[in-house]
């Protein structure tokens, strides 16, 4: 990949997804796009760029393939337990104490990848409601830009690796084991509404209003500061007053937004709409 090819493709990917490949990632981008060139029978990255940018109908389909290959989809059930413990604490204190909000709970897992995050949240909520003998209606919205991971999330069949941090009793209760794979039970699947949503698209946020919780974990790291600000400002608008935002444990709102109040929990921080 020449420097010019890298630059035009990097800018194109940034414009469409907000994902910013720095020059040190040239090789990574080249190896991820190489398969696309092969499959389309194109002989240069420049041709691929022109195909994406000016191609007709087929190029639109190719955008979906591009989103699949430029995204990193690492995830697992019960990832980063301190953040999930904070979620439990907030639920018990503010939503299950008898005086909490009566409207159905709305939770959004933005950038949900193959679904482990939203399904984990559903299991946590179901377990808490059962333990406290309460019934709170809730919907979990789960979105991603990659059609491939969305399909996989909808199938909800997971590898041993995906459930490696899941408690054995929860595995027995919520999954059916088949040939070393774990099929999620329908009750949990039904609680999660999975859709395509591009965080770059300002108009798409309209579908995700009045959220009590937003989990936007481990995706901001792929964005530059301008895109991080845009995403977080949009998310602010999507939350109920005093709603809670959780970002990745290695991510920060420093220099991004002052609109949230940081709340300290053991081993983690959650952000509350101020």
Ligand X SMILES: C[S@@+](CC[C@H](N)C(=O)[O-])C[C@H]1O[C@@H](n2cnc3c(N)ncnc32)[C@H](O)[C@@H]1O
| 204 vs 196: CA distance, rounded Å | 10
Q: What share of the chain is helix, strand, coil (3-state, %, to 5)?
A: 50, 20, 30
User: Does 218 engage in binding with ligand X (CB under 6 A)?
Assistant: yes
Q: Which stretch binds ligand X (CB under 6 A): 131-139, 166-174, 195-203, 265-273?
A: 195-203
**Spatial contact of 119 and 160, defined as CB atoms under 8 Å apart:** no
> Could you say which of 5, 13, 18, 121 contacts ligand X (CB under 6 A)?
18
Which tokens belong to 19? 């994902």
Q: Tell me: does residue 181 bind ligand X (CB under 6 A).
A: no
Stretch that binds ligand X, among 39-47, 82-90, 110-118, 250-258 (CB under 6 A): 110-118
Residue 25: count of CB within 10 angstroms of its CB: 13
Q: Counting contacts by CB under 6 A, is residue 73 touching ligand X?
A: yes
State the Cα–Cα distance between residues 22 and 12, nearest whole angstrom: 13
Neighbours of 13 (CB within 10 A): 20
Q: Contact between 19 and ligand X (CB under 6 A)?
A: yes
Q: Which stretch binds ligand X (CB under 6 A): 12-20, 41-49, 52-60, 125-133?
A: 12-20
- The reply on whether position 118 binds ligand X by CB under 6 A is no
Q: What is the total residue count of the chain?
A: 274
For ligand X, the binding residue among 24, 38, 43, 74 (CB under 6 A) is 74
| Identified binder of ligand X from the candidate list 1, 122, 199, 256, rule CB under 6 A | 199
Q: Are 261 and 274 in contact (CB under 8 A)?
A: yes
The dihedral sign for the CA sequence 195, 11, 2, 29: negative
| Region 126-145 residues binding ligand X, contact defined as CB under 6 A | 144-145
Query: Smallest distance, Å, CB 67 to ligand X?
Result: 7
Measured distance between the N- and C-terminal CA atoms of the chain, rounded to whole angstroms: 46
Nearest to 193 by CA among 239, 144, 130: 144
Among 13, 149, 235, 247, binds ligand X (CB under 6 A): 149
Toward ligand X, which CB reaches closer, 117 or 212? 117
Taking CB under 6 A as the criterion, the residue among 198, 234, 257, 268 binding ligand X is 198
CA dist 106 and 265 (Å) reads 22
Nearer to ligand X, 17 or 65 (CB): 17
Return residues touching ligand X (CB under 6 A). 17-19, 71-75, 79, 111-113, 117, 144-146, 149, 198-200, 217-219, 222
């Amino acid at each position: 990949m020449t420097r010019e090819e890298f630059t035009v493709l990097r800018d194109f990917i940034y414009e469409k997804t907000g994902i910013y490949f720095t020059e040190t990632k040239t090789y990574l981008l080249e190896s991820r796009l190489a398969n696309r060139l092969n499959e389309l029978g194109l002989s240069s990255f420049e041709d691929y760029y022109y195909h994406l940018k000016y191609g007709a109908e087929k190029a639109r389909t190719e955008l979906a393939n591009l989103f699949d290959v430029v995204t990193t989809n690492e995830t697992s059930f019960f990832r980063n337990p301190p953040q999930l413990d904070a979620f439990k604490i907030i639920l018990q204190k503010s939503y299950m104490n008898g005086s909490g909000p009566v409207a159905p709970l709305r939770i959004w897992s933005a950038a949900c990848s193959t679904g482990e995050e939203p399904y984990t949240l559903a299991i946590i909520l179901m377990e808490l409601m059962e333990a406290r003998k309460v019934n709170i209606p809730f919907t979990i919205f789960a979105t991603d830009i990659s059609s491939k991971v969305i399909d996989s999330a909808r199938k909800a069949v997971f590898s041993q690796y995906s459930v490696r941090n899941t408690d054995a009793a929860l595995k027995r209760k919520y999954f059916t084991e088949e040939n070393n794979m774990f099929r999620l039970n329908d009750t949990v699947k039904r609680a999660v509404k999975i859709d395509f949503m591009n965080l770059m698209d300002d108009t798409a946020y309209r579908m995700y209003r009045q959220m009590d919780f937003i989990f936007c974990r481990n995706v901001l790291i792929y964005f530059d500061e301008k895109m991080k600000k845009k995403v977080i400002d949009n998310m602010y608008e999507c939350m109920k007053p005093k709603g809670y935002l959780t970002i990745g444990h290695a991510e920060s709102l420093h220099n991004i937004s002052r609109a949230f109040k940081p709340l300290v929990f053991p081993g983690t921080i959650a952000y509350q709409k101020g």
